[in-house]
A = this chain, B = another copy of it.
Amino acid sequence: MITTIRLQSEDFDAAAEAAKLSHGRTDIGAVVTFTGICRDHEGGHGVSAMTLEHYPGMAEDEIARHVEDAKRRWPLLGATVIHRYGRMQPGDNIVLVVTASAHRQAAFAAADFLMDYLKTRAPFWKLEERPDGTGWVEAKETDDSAAARWQAKPGAAAE
């Protein structure tokens, strides 16, 4: 399986990354890409920009552990995770997850799983620039409960 994990401040090209996974291959039947984008509002307040802080070293390790976990749960043929850090403005890409498999259920479930874990376990923190100053984004309970879906039974949400 082709696995790509990158942390970078520069933007990424979702299409090029997806193409890399499937190019020249005839065993892949499904490619799912998730692109997370910086929005201009969040929970009722405006956001003019945000800065993503991360824990270098641990972030890569933690993402790699979850990609390995996803490979054990689903028959993946490829997975790419790219997470940006630094300052971003509304409309800018933040995170990319690409999964490839023979069948669509595995590709969908693995991408969904990886995003839930990136949200709740990968060591990144968002500092928002708001009309009244800057503020750290608080973790959401809905993200924790989304991630908890995968703990009950491996692959349960894929069925």
Contact = CB atoms under 8 A, between A and B. Distances in A.
Contacts of A14: 15, 18, 33
A39 B38 CA distance: 35
A105 B146 contact: yes
**For the complex formed by this chain, how many copies does it contain in all?**
2
A150 to B, nearest CB: 13
A32 interface: yes
Interface residues of A, number: 37
Interface string A55-96: 000000000000000000000000000000000001100000
A36 to B, nearest CB: 6
A98 to B, nearest CB: 9
Interface string A26-55: 111111111111111100000000000000
A121 B94 CA distance: 35
B36 A33 contact: no
A130 to B, nearest CB: 15
Contact of A27 (B26, B34, B40, B142): B40
